[in-house]
Amino acid sequence: MALDLETREQLIDTVRRFVTERLRPLEAQVSEDDAIPGEVIEEMKGLGLFGLSIPEEYGGLDLSMEDECLVGVELGRTSPAFRSAFGTNVGIGSQGLVMFGTEAQKAKYLPGIASGEIITSFALTEPEAGSDSANVQTRAIRDGDFYVLNGTKRFITNANKADLFTVMARSDPSKPGGGGVSAFLVERNLPGLSVGKPEKKMGQQGAHICDVIFDNVRVPAENRLGAEGEGFKVAMQVLDRGRLHISAVCIGVAERLLADCVAYASERKQFGQAISGFQLIQGMIADSKTEALVAKAMTMETARARDAGKSVTMEAAAAKYFASEMVGRVADRAVQIFGGAGYVADHGIERFYRDVRIFRIYEGTSQIQQVVIARETMKRGG
């Protein structure tokens, strides 16, 4: 649902203040501790952040894609790990259920997802199914009123906290590729489901990814999401949406880094003047600003097209491709503008430089976005 302009302004203002006053002062500590304080998670719940995209009837804010992206930009103005705490509930962990769930499935899970009582996770990736996500090897064998799941999922965001997984598993081994894959809502406490230790990562400390192992996990057949064999399409449509959300976060990080660069360059003196007076510094700021504006225009236009009911697979891939590459360049220039101060930990610039690297990889690598863009462009004839 699209918000009226006043409500939208109020929401954005609330999120901006929360980010500025509450989250930004905690960035270094969260990175150090590799954990977000429990009271901050409770405040996020109170603000409704876990339910941004969940329909109102189930207790969420039911934001349009455009409004969600505007909020995503605000959330990008701090360490991306904070957003990750509720990012799966807003995006890949809930949207399969929102788009393809039965009334009974939605009534059972969505209120808890919207409030943050249920943490969700999206289990598609496997050791042999990363970019080639149709090559899912996890098996789902029908046994009466159950499916029995066996296999291993890898790099699953929020798996260590998740109560509910959307799991893609092969229900028909005679069909290779996406056609033999079904999606399931799998509760964490089912016997045989275990979660590995969080991986040590390059950045985004405070956000976690783990293996999820299924050892004869009996999932009630009523927890299948969508029709049998439709699981790959469920996953792809969830990702179409998720890619726009990630684009918005990339834009927010770029805007944050630009503000940091402008402040630092105005203060830092060399050759007897603030370095902001030097045109080579200005050139870097101009390039970063221009690219951030382009990414924002693409992302918002695509979000509005999606809200209008258009298929945006190609445009969402293009937005994610450009925005994630863009924020990599902006972070690189930020280190350059800060110089030695950007390379040491004190200003947090090197931390952002590491944090943004994953944007070019998760929810589809840049190379996968290129494949999606090229295929669709060739299909359309240009």
Residues that bind ligand COS (CB under 6 A): 92, 122, 124-125, 131, 133-134, 177-179, 232-233, 236-237, 239-240, 313, 362-364, 368, 371-372
Residue 236 CB, shortest distance to ligand COS, in Å, is: 3
Distances (CA, A) of 235 to 208, 225, 281, 329, 343: 21, 11, 43, 29, 38
Residues 141/127, Cβ–Cβ less than 8 Å: no
Question: Cβ 10 to ligand COS, closest distance in Å?
Answer: 31
Nearer to ligand COS, 27 or 240 (CB): 240
Nearer to ligand COS, 139 or 233 (CB): 233
Shortest separation between residue 376's beta carbon and ligand COS, angstroms: 9
Residue 62 CB, nearest distance to ligand COS (Å)? 22
Q: Which is nearer to ligand COS, 238 or 285 (CB)?
A: 238
9 in catalytic set: no
**Which residue, 140 or 168, is less far from ligand COS as judged by CB?**
168
Min dist. Cβ of residue 115 to ligand COS (A): 24
Per DSSP, the chain holds a count of helices (H) and strands (E) of 13, 10
Nearer to ligand COS, 99 or 263 (CB): 99
Q: Looking at beta carbons, which residue is closest to ligand COS?
A: 364
- What is the DSSP annotation of 62-97? ---HHHHHHHHHHHTTS-HHHHHHHHHHHTTTTHHH
Identified catalytic residue from 103, 187, 363, 376: 363
Q: How do 273-274 and 209-220 pair as beta strands?
A: unpaired
Tell me, what amino acid is at 333? R
Sign of CA dihedral 55, 301, 349, 277: negative
Question: What distance in Å separates the CA atoms of residue 154 and residue 128, rounded to the nearest whole number?
Answer: 9
Which DSSP helix (H) or strand (E) runs through 122? Answer: strand 120-123
What value, to the nearest 5°, has the Cα angle with vertex 81 and ends 92 and 165?
A: 30
175-190 as b/e, with b when 16 or more CB fall inside 10 Å? Answer: eeebebbbbbbbbbeb
Q: Enumerate the active-site residues.
A: 363
